[in-house]
Structure 1
Amino acid sequence: MWRKISLLFHTIKFLKPTQLIGRFIHFLPRSILEVSIHPKISTETSYQGFIAKQSSTQDLDCFTFLSETNCLSSIGWDHPEVSKLWRYNLHYFDFINSSYVEQDSRVQKELDLIHQWIDENPFGKGTAWEPYPSSLRIINWIKWHWRTKSLTDKALTSLWNQVRYLGDRPEYHLLGNHLFINAKALIFAGVFFKGLEAQKYLNQGLEILNQELNEQFLEDGAHFELSPMYHALGMEDLLDLFAICHANIPTFPRGEVAQKIQLGLTWLQLMSYAHGELAHFNDCANGIAPSLDQLESFAFDLGIQVNKMEGESTTRLLKSSGFFVSASKGFKMIADVGEIGPTYLPGHAHADTLSFELALHGERVIVNSGTSLYGLSQERLRQRSTSAHSTVEINGENSSEVWSGFRVARRAEPMDLDCNQEGVDFTLACSHTGYQRFSKDIIHRRTWTKQGAILTVKDQVLGKIASAKARYFLHPEITVREEDQVLYLDKNGKNLAVLKASDGVNEIPILQKKSSYHPIFGLSVPTICLEIALTESQEIILNVTF
């Protein structure tokens, strides 16, 4: 019980007053009532160049989300035994704006499904009417109508009621990407519908946008929740808003949004790999957000110039987001030397401080293990834990107190960061305070040094500890050969790297453990985790020759 009280206290103390007030309001009864008419719709804006969503259904009955297939005719819209995230995806209605070939018969079936949703999801009831899925559905129905001109009076009335219900209580108790998508939906609705009430929702959305733009999109371009996946989704949101507002809404912050898009797409280039995969820091999975190529193409169509970095060598410390990236021919390393996320919103954070990923010769080699699920399961906790990342775990504990599905209590704080290129390609060093909640003298310090074709990763643990382990998760396509405590990392018979470990005095073994890798939601792939135990020297040195 005291443990739970401690976790709650050290979580709540970071929240903003807005969140606490919003949470109280969130549980109050609603007074808003359903209406039976809708305003006229505007004919002045009808943009159709949005990024197509991935196809999740062929027959509009059986849907595949998160690598799981269910049929609407069997489970309905809100079956309690189906995961909340799966149901959210069903209620988003992304599938009506997918890349599936559009035919008149398909449009009619999509309209029939919209009508079915209206009939089977009464006003204000169930998962369907929660603010986040409502926001995405509002946007998708509007995009669909702009393309097909097919929403009926019945559908438009329902859409208007969804807008009113959302506008009555946006997600101020959560903030972050949830509040931002609420604002986007209100802006879409304010552009789509005519009249004073529609203008009210447009102004409400623009007010949130102006409040959150600099808060959520940092100076180095990153989205402040520090997840490449949510960052890419944020880029799509900004591009969508720019597309419908820049020429028609005088109060839209056109220049500021364009600059955020430019910086954000550069950041995404740095945090992506040659095959379009995203770096796995915090909650991040491939296949959810639009690809970098899609986002850059959309930006180009909107007249926003993006600096393409293909083939360029670069070494950058992204100070606002706390990531270090070094890329050159045959080498790319991304390291997390920053905070876990915004102090008041760590829901998508992992205990991954001082973790890193490494790609060699265009192939991913060392990775963090990724994210395959949300919810409250033990596996969700494990995937957020320090032990699921390529970093050091001390005394079997997490560097940040991740708990529940989206909670963090006490957090690791980076300190003594040093980055230089004096006499080497680079040296990056950083410590963190995450284990000082157990003893004030415990500090983990990691130093990466690259010179030519050798990367050295040195871990030092200060203070009295019981045990510590450094882990390095391998991409599942990597195979390992071992000869006399030397590991050879290969892919398709080609050697990519040679690994040796020492404690500063003697060579020490690198153990191979069975583990799992989670590149997309709903998928776990067997892989190998390399594990090195700390010796009495309290120092581990890993040499990677490539």
Structure 2
Amino acid sequence: MSDTRKYLILMRAVQRLSPRMALFMARRVLRNKLAPRFPVRYRARLATIEKDLPALSGPRGELPPGLLVMAEIYSSEYREVMDRAREGRIVVLGREIDFGAPAKVDWNHHVPEEGDHQLWRVKMSHMGVLCPMIIEGERDHHLAVTALAKGALENTDPTAPGAFDAYWFPYAASHRILALTAGLIVARSRKGLPQETDQAVSDLLRHNVAFLLDNVEHELNNNHVERNLAALCLYFSYAESVPTRIAARLERDVAHLLETTILPDGCQVERSPMYQGLSVASLAIMAETPFLSGSLRSKLQERQAAAHRAFAILSHPDGEVALFNDSWHGEAPHYRGLEVPVGRVVLSHGGYARLSRGDDVCLMDAGPLGPAWNPGHGHADFLSVEITLDKRRLIVDPGTSHYNTGADRTRERSAAAHNGPGYDGYEPVEFLGSFKVGKLAQARLLPEQELGTDTIGGTFYAGPGKIARLVRHYPGRGFLVADLWDTSSPRGRVSWLVPTEWQISTSESGKLQLEQGNARAWIAPLLAASEDLHVTPSHWASHYGHRRGAHELLLRPHLAVSRQQTLLCWIGSMPPPTSAHAEGQALLEQLSSLVTRLPQESQ
């Protein structure tokens, strides 16, 4: 990519910032430059904030569910590896690094293959492993907690070059406050902690709260701010007192966050199913914050309930989230709770639709890339679907294996890597680096009233022309997918990813039969000729930093007499019914009518 094009993408991204965000972005840039240049002054600034902070008090009565859920989020993630942390062996994102002892942990550890985005280091800096060590650990765990907390306080410096992208990344500080506050309050409500351990954790907490008060990430106005504010709300909910100025500030900031980042249907505005799960937990903490006004807490409770419902809709029967946009398993809570209504469910503001019955599910992404002001976590997965049959994932999203700049990041965000109908050689979005976006695009859900109750669909206006997709559910059998391109060129394409746990064989009729243990599935193109189906090795990522094998099934559409391109594909646990071809043709005719009739601005 040329320097000129990079510059144009950057200018497009900057122009979409609100004046408020631009002001805070300028402040962030100045902080990054001035703190290392004037370290004594910046440390003095933080010390002044910390000096006036109230200490964390003990629990008051029965612990609320939001606090307990937050503690369990960190405990469930790190419970199985806390014994290793006791010895200085830190396990994050499936990778273990042995530092030799808790006191020797290097909080600025660099992982070479993570390049320009050191997520392993940032994730380690969350210090989430301390939560189960505090709550469930024995004496040797508590000694390790003391050493880890003291080591972090003594051996990290927010004025060091690069500190704001490492241990003192405000998002990481937020997770530290959430994990340590939740752990400390739960432990104090039970058997308590050794005095030295309690003091070491309390000292680290105060330092982090002072830092975060000075560094809320308003320049992003996204999930980072949500985590920032949840952390501050949790700490001050259990502080000995709440300074009036801080209570007023959090009232204002939480209200702004709720208004701008949580949509009416509960979807978090960045449209990541993973971050959706974290939003549910953060909103619960805010709704339990006693010093926020009653009216704001009531709104938080309502929106948290909607967010919980959206999280349920965006989860598969295996309890893990869909992998649309930046998402992976193991970061958000494993879904438990609300039952999703059977049949069709639509998140009209979030741009998602779902068909389900029993353990068969189809989810469709038919929304924007993300919020215009910060679409950095978006992927070009327009009209993509994920399909689970009998609780086994069959059609998967490529996922997110890395954030750092490189070929994997570029591929996993591209339209070509996803199964939404696309055009050869055409990418609808301009991506730069890890999170910057130039040209935007968005899909839209087709109106529910125009479709049968067993059908979901969406449209997407790409550069070469309009694209549309309908999916019809045949309960107990499978799903029929109908795709339409309203131009004859460039050539259309659909690329399904199937995990290699499924073994593929081809029948004489051109249907693909798949087996996984005693499970069977069929993928059958109903219009394409056999030479228009190609199966090649590929990969997907259900967990960050780890790629898994996949079969890539590339299908080419049929060129209709109308000069439109069309494709019908059956995906099910049984072969397609004899009526599938005729009913698919009816879906294509409906798509053609809708694409022609709906005004372009609704595309």
TM above 0.5, one fold?
yes
- Structure 1 residues 501, 403: CA separation in 2 closer, same or farther (over 3 Å shift)? farther
- Structure 1 residues 163, 458: CA separation in 2 closer, same or farther (over 3 Å shift)? same
Residue 401 of structure 1 is matched in structure 2 by: 430
Give 1:356's match in structure 2, choosing from 368, 385, 406: 385
Q: Describe the SS at the equivalent of 2:68.
A: coil
Alignment of 1:327-338 (within 5 A): 327-329=356-358, 331-338=360-367
Aligned AA (2:266): G
Aligned AA (1:65): V
Shift of 1:525: 1.0
Q: Does the Cα contact within 8 Å between 1:180 and 1:208 map onto a contact in 2? A: no
Q: Distance in 1 between matches of 2:445 and 2:107?
A: 51
Q: Distance in 1 between matches of 2:174 and 2:459?
A: 40
Q: Does the Cα contact within 8 Å between 1:37 and 1:157 map onto a contact in 2? A: no
Q: Distance in 1 between matches of 2:397 and 2:156?
A: 40
Q: Describe the SS at the equivalent of 1:524.
A: strand
- Structure 1 residues 2, 37: CA separation in 2 closer, same or farther (over 3 Å shift)? closer
Shift of 1:474: 1.2
Are positions 1:191 and 2:227 aligned together?
no
Are positions 1:203 and 2:248 aligned together?
yes
Shift of 1:155: 5.1
Q: Distance in 2 between matches of 1:330 and 1:72?
A: 44
Q: Which has the higher helix share?
A: 2
Q: Distance in 2 between matches of 1:252 and 1:104?
A: 44
Q: Distance in 1 between matches of 2:511 and 2:319?
A: 31
Residue 113 of structure 1 is matched in structure 2 by: 148
Range that drifts further, 351-360 or 154-163 = 154-163
Q: Describe the SS at the equivalent of 2:178.
A: helix
Residue 556 of structure 2 is matched in structure 1 by: 533
Residue 124 of structure 2 is matched in structure 1 by: 90
Q: Describe the SS at the equivalent of 1:353.
A: coil
Residue 570 of structure 2 is matched in structure 1 by: 543
Q: Distance in 1 between matches of 2:184 and 2:457?
A: 53
Residue 432 of structure 1 is matched in structure 2 by: 460
Give 2:325's match in structure 1, choosing from 279, 282, 285: 282
- Structure 1 residues 38, 90: CA separation in 2 closer, same or farther (over 3 Å shift)? farther
Residue 497 of structure 1 is matched in structure 2 by: 522
- Structure 1 residues 78, 259: CA separation in 2 closer, same or farther (over 3 Å shift)? same
Aligned AA (1:431): T
Alignment: residue pair count: 521
Q: Describe the SS at the equivalent of 1:512.
A: strand
Shift of 1:269: 1.6
- Structure 1 residues 432, 224: CA separation in 2 closer, same or farther (over 3 Å shift)? same
Unpaired segments ≥5 residues, structure 1: 297-306
Q: Distance in 2 between matches of 1:327 and 1:473?
A: 20
- Structure 1 residues 249, 428: CA separation in 2 closer, same or farther (over 3 Å shift)? closer
Q: Distance in 2 between matches of 1:163 and 1:39?
A: 8
Are positions 1:308 and 2:335 aligned together?
no
Q: Distance in 1 between matches of 2:14 and 2:526?
A: 42
Q: Does the Cα contact within 8 Å between 2:398 and 2:539 map onto a contact in 1? A: yes
Shift of 1:416: 7.5
- Once the two structures are superposed, residues 306-347 of structure 1 have per-residue CA deviations (whole angstroms, 9 ceiling, x without a partner) of x534xx522122101011111124531111111122111211
Are positions 1:486 and 2:511 aligned together?
yes
Residue 499 of structure 2 is matched in structure 1 by: 475
Q: Describe the SS at the equivalent of 1:541.
A: strand
Q: Describe the SS at the equivalent of 1:128.
A: coil
Q: Distance in 2 between matches of 1:275 and 1:228?
A: 14
Aligned AA (1:443): K
Q: Distance in 2 between matches of 1:411 and 1:482?
A: 39
Q: Describe the SS at the equivalent of 2:416.
A: helix
Q: Does the Cα contact within 8 Å between 1:351 and 1:402 map onto a contact in 2? A: no
- Once the two structures are superposed, residues 19-72 of structure 1 have per-residue CA deviations (whole angstroms, 9 ceiling, x without a partner) of 222111102125542438564525364546343221144232111111222133
Q: Does the Cα contact within 8 Å between 1:57 and 1:95 map onto a contact in 2? A: yes
Q: Does the Cα contact within 8 Å between 1:272 and 1:278 map onto a contact in 2? A: yes
- Once the two structures are superposed, residues 358-409 of structure 1 have per-residue CA deviations (whole angstroms, 9 ceiling, x without a partner) of 1223322111121122111211111111122222232323232233111222
- Structure 1 residues 119, 344: CA separation in 2 closer, same or farther (over 3 Å shift)? same
Shift of 1:275: 1.5
Give 1:367's match in structure 2, choosing from 383, 391, 396: 396
Q: Distance in 2 between matches of 1:507 and 1:420?
A: 36
- Once the two structures are superposed, residues 234-272 of structure 1 have per-residue CA deviations (whole angstroms, 9 ceiling, x without a partner) of 1111223344x25x6555833222222222222222111
Residue 268 of structure 2 is matched in structure 1 by: 223
Give 2:218's match in structure 1, choosing from 172, 184, 191: 172
Residue 299 of structure 1 is matched in structure 2 by: none
Q: Describe the SS at the equivalent of 1:49.
A: helix
- Once the two structures are superposed, residues 437-480 of structure 1 have per-residue CA deviations (whole angstroms, 9 ceiling, x without a partner) of xxxx5222222234564633222223363433211111332221
Residue 315 of structure 2 is matched in structure 1 by: 272
Q: Describe the SS at the equivalent of 1:114.
A: helix
Aligned AA (1:88): V
Residue 258 of structure 1 is matched in structure 2 by: 301
Q: Distance in 2 between matches of 1:416 and 1:291?
A: 27
Range that drifts further, 250-259 or 119-128 = 250-259
Residue 23 of structure 1 is matched in structure 2 by: 25
Q: Distance in 1 between matches of 2:292 and 2:139?
A: 33
Q: Does the Cα contact within 8 Å between 2:470 and 2:481 map onto a contact in 1? A: yes
Q: Distance in 2 between matches of 1:416 and 1:283?
A: 21
Aligned AA (2:283): L
Residue 484 of structure 2 is matched in structure 1 by: 460
Shift of 1:88: 0.9
- Structure 1 residues 5, 308: CA separation in 2 closer, same or farther (over 3 Å shift)? same
Shift of 1:97: 0.9
Q: Distance in 1 between matches of 2:97 and 2:346?
A: 44
Q: Distance in 2 between matches of 1:316 and 1:410?
A: 30
Are positions 1:135 and 2:135 aligned together?
no
- Once the two structures are superposed, residues 255-297 of structure 1 have per-residue CA deviations (whole angstroms, 9 ceiling, x without a partner) of 222222222222222111222121111111111111222xx4x
Aligned AA (1:145): L
The normalised TM-score by structure 2 is: 0.80
Q: Does the Cα contact within 8 Å between 2:312 and 2:335 map onto a contact in 1? A: yes
Give 1:6's match in structure 2, choosing from 5, 8, 18: 8
Q: Distance in 2 between matches of 1:111 and 1:105?
A: 10
- Structure 1 residues 85, 273: CA separation in 2 closer, same or farther (over 3 Å shift)? same
- Structure 1 residues 156, 23: CA separation in 2 closer, same or farther (over 3 Å shift)? same
Q: Describe the SS at the equivalent of 2:151.
A: helix
Q: Distance in 2 between matches of 1:138 and 1:278?
A: 25
Q: Distance in 1 between matches of 2:267 and 2:89?
A: 36
- Structure 1 residues 170, 270: CA separation in 2 closer, same or farther (over 3 Å shift)? same
Q: Distance in 2 between matches of 1:96 and 1:252?
A: 35
Q: Distance in 2 between matches of 1:75 and 1:465?
A: 57
Aligned AA (2:456): L
- Structure 1 residues 483, 183: CA separation in 2 closer, same or farther (over 3 Å shift)? same
Q: Describe the SS at the equivalent of 1:138.
A: helix
Q: Distance in 2 between matches of 1:519 and 1:116?
A: 33
Aligned AA (1:261): Q
The normalised TM-score by structure 1 is: 0.87
Q: Distance in 2 between matches of 1:427 and 1:134?
A: 44
